[in-house]
Amino acid sequence: MTEDGQRHRAIRSFVRREGRITEAQKRALEELLPRYGIAQGETPLDFVALFGRVAPVHLEIGFGNGEALAAMALTHPQNNYLGIEVHRPGVGALLRRLDAELIPNVRVACTDAKEVLEQQVPDASLSAVYIFFPDPWHKLRHHKRRLVQAGFIALLHRKLKPGGTLHLATDWEDYAQHMLAVLSVAEGFENVAGQSQYAPRPETRPLTRFERRGQRLGHGVRDMVFRAVVAQPQRLDET
């Protein structure tokens, strides 16, 4: 709240660009989201009830058209996957694939990831978080909109189990540098590749059509993999 009682308008890391949504995607949102979606609100999610089993929960934030998320779910059926995406055409595309290929271990939310994390994801409940190719907001005046900021990383640490992984990837060099700088000083994370180092692309990250197109255009991709550890309490200097 400001001094005059007005609420601060939150800076969002996305703009809803509906773009072209097909009739098939619209039908998927209407017919399949009730089956694969999560109920939105402020009630904490019960992952066992949501997926119908006990299994590690992996979260992908901003899954686009769901290509990587569906591939991970098929390759690692022992895990449960929660995907969050604000753009309805992409959500509709993923829902159609989940239904067509009978992929049982994915649930989706078509909303703001920060709200889901703050209100619905229990603390220390996630085994992994993936952020692949987030909007780079490349103009300097838009850098404040970038998803990877200190406060958001602290929120992710709270939701990850000790030993859980945070895996990021981008094809924008300056955003990669920003990500690495933020994570290198974040409390409770250690760089799996070594201090201030990028990681080789883990086999767990599928190579998507988006990335293959970028490779043809000469775009280099940088991966960062961090492990959540128990943050050490700050000690007051003794005087």
Task: Note the pLDDT tens digit of each residue in 74-92.
Answer: 999 999 999 999 999 999 9
Task: Indicate whether 53 belongs to any domain.
Answer: yes
Task: Indicate whether 182 belongs to any domain.
Answer: yes
Nearest to 156 by CA among 196, 112, 201, 123: 123
Task: Indicate whether 205 belongs to any domain.
Answer: yes
For residue 190, give both structure tokens.
């250690």
Strands 222-228 and 160-170: antiparallel
> Does an H or E element contain 154, and which?
helix 150-159
Residue 99: pLDDT band by 50, 70, 90 thresholds?
very high
Q: Please name the residue that has the structure tokens 């769901």.
A: 66
Task: Indicate whether 14 belongs to any domain.
Answer: no
Can you tell me the distance from the alpha carbon of 66 to that of 206, in angstroms, rounded to the nearest whole number?
Answer: 11
Q: Please name the residue that has the structure tokens 């086999």.
A: 203
- Asked if 60 and 84 touch (Cβ cutoff 8 Å), the reply is yes
Task: Indicate whether 11 belongs to any domain.
Answer: no
Strands 222-228 and 189-191: antiparallel
* pLDDT value at residue 45: 97
Residue 2: pLDDT band by 50, 70, 90 thresholds?
very low
Q: Measuring CA to CA, how many Å separate 96 from each of 14, 20, 23, 26, 138? A: 24, 16, 12, 10, 32
- Count of other CB atoms within 10 angstroms of residue 13: 22
* pLDDT value at residue 100: 98
* pLDDT value at residue 5: 46
- Facing residues of 130 across strands? 60, 167
Task: Indicate whether 16 belongs to any domain.
Answer: no
Task: Indicate whether 180 belongs to any domain.
Answer: yes
135 is catalytic: yes
Residue 7: pLDDT band by 50, 70, 90 thresholds?
very low
pTM confidence score = 0.87
Q: What is the DSSP letter of 138?
A: -
- Phi and psi at 68, nearest 5°, equal -70, -40
* pLDDT value at residue 19: 66
Structurally, the chain folds into a number of domains equal to 1
Assess whether pLDDT exceeds 70 at residue 213.
yes
Residue 93: pLDDT band by 50, 70, 90 thresholds?
very high
Task: Indicate whether 3 belongs to any domain.
Answer: no
- Give the residue numbers spanning the domain of 95: 23-228
* pLDDT value at residue 143: 54
Nearest to 60 by CA among 96, 122, 101, 107: 107
* CATH code for position 61: 3.40.50.150
Residue 15: pLDDT band by 50, 70, 90 thresholds?
very low
* pLDDT value at residue 148: 93
Question: Terminus-to-terminus CA distance in the chain, angstroms?
Answer: 37
- Phi and psi at 22, nearest 5°, equal -80, 165
- Facing residues of 165 across strands? 128, 227
For residue 33, give both structure tokens.
């989201």
Can you tell me the distance from the alpha carbon of 37 to that of 114, in angstroms, rounded to the nearest whole number?
Answer: 17
Mean local confidence (pLDDT), 119-147: 84
Q: Measuring CA to CA, how many Å separate 79 from each of 82, 104, 131, 205? A: 10, 10, 17, 14
Q: Which among 135, 171, 223, 237 is annotated as catalytic?
A: 135
